[in-house]
Amino acid sequence: MPDTPAAPVIVADRPGTFPYGVLAERHPAIVRQVAEDTPYGPDRRRALDALRTDCTEGVITPLPDDAHDHDRWAAWGMHAHAGRSWHDVPWLWSESWFYRQLLQATGYFEPGPWQGVDPFRPAKLAELDAPATDDELAALDALEDLPEDERARALLHGSLWGNRADLGFRMSAEGAEEQAAVPALVADDSDRLWSLLDGSPPGTLCLVADNAGRELVPDLLLIAHLLAHGRVARAQLHVKPHPYYVSDATTADVLDTVRRLTAAKGAAGAYGQGLRAALTDGRLELRAHPFSCAPLPYADMPDDLRADFAAATVTVLKGDLNYRRLVGDRHWPATTPFADVTACFPGPVAALRTLKSEVITGLDPRTETTLDADEGGRWRTGGTHALIQVRT
């Protein structure tokens, strides 16, 4: 990273901090919710109970030697962290380890009746099939009369905000954002992103997905629009190879979402048909690389994944976790240049992210000062602010 000394790695070892709360409170609550949503038998329920205790009071215990991904996790630091408290290893690592252990407890990888059963699927489907999703999809019809560039802008903001912004189809009131002391969008390089997407001839978009459910819907709508209007010739959608971080999108979630769109009426149904056709003819390609579930920053990505991103016109990384992995899960000063901390990424890269953790870079000093004065540190984790940052 050019002239940018590395900041301290975030560790969840201090009570009262956001990372500590995730490990001490959110993770046990997730285990309880998984047990409530799916009727696992006594053995699996005992394993879930043990995980709920272990993730708050125990130490890192390596996977069994016969685990299919034992060697992979060994390369990712499992033995180096063995015997240490979950709170004393890098927060990014311990979060990822929790989800791997949750899959271990539910039998996701083991031969048997629970193999391949997504423990988060009930929650994902409940959100995707909720009546509110019908209302949001119906709002697509109102976009059809807008000029193409305005539709593209609305879909980009839908992808940025997800279901919080009703798929982003509400255009902000005249000048309201600009008049705010600190707008909800704390950094906006969208013009730079559009300049990459409007090249001639059209190129390839890599989009690294974040959440499934109603947040994957606008991601797919954006891809469908860009393909249909020739802004990109092809797209790669990178999803997780297995369940991860509660709602992270997998291939099954993509298929569920395309099904939901295709079954809808009006513009949403047309988008669904377009996505299905693009998947069939190869203009939209799915990727599910094992490194997508690694407890490591993108700086450590393997060569084959690096080649995918290097070949893209631009790679768009969605969501908070991808941002942490992109810039490094560290206590960066908020004004650290985004271009510096993403210099290792192979090719142009854009981050579309709602702020839900403490890591942030690329802010101008005035924005940071105003945010801290108005909201303390809440703006970093509350999901009320977002950013679009681009490094060409």
pLDDT in tens, 327-384: 999 999 999 999 999 999 999 999 999 999 999 999 999 999 999 999 988 999 989 9
Q: What percentage of the chain reaches a pLDDT higher than 90?
A: 88
Residue 319 to residue 352: CA distance in whole angstroms:
6
pLDDT tens digit string along 70-91? 999 999 999 999 999 999 999 9
pLDDT band at 273; cut points 50, 70, 90: very high
Is residue 165's pLDDT more than 80?
no
Which pLDDT belongs to residue 67? 96
pLDDT per position as a tens digit, 280-328: 999 999 999 999 999 999 999 999 999 999 999 999 999 999 999 999 9
Predicted local confidence at residue 219, as pLDDT: 97
Angstrom distance (rounded) from CA 142 to CA 181: 30
| pLDDT tops 70 at residue 178 | no
Per-residue pLDDT at 200: 86
**Residues 211-232: what's their mean pLDDT?**
96
pTM: 0.94
What's the confidence (pLDDT) of residue 45?
98
pLDDT range class, residue 175, cuts 50, 70, 90: very low
pLDDT for 174 beyond 70: no
The pLDDT value recorded for residue 301 is 98
Structure token digits, residue 261: 């769109």
Q: Which residues of 233-253 are buried (b: 16+ CB within 10 A; e: fewer)?
A: ebbbbbbbebbbbbbbbbebb
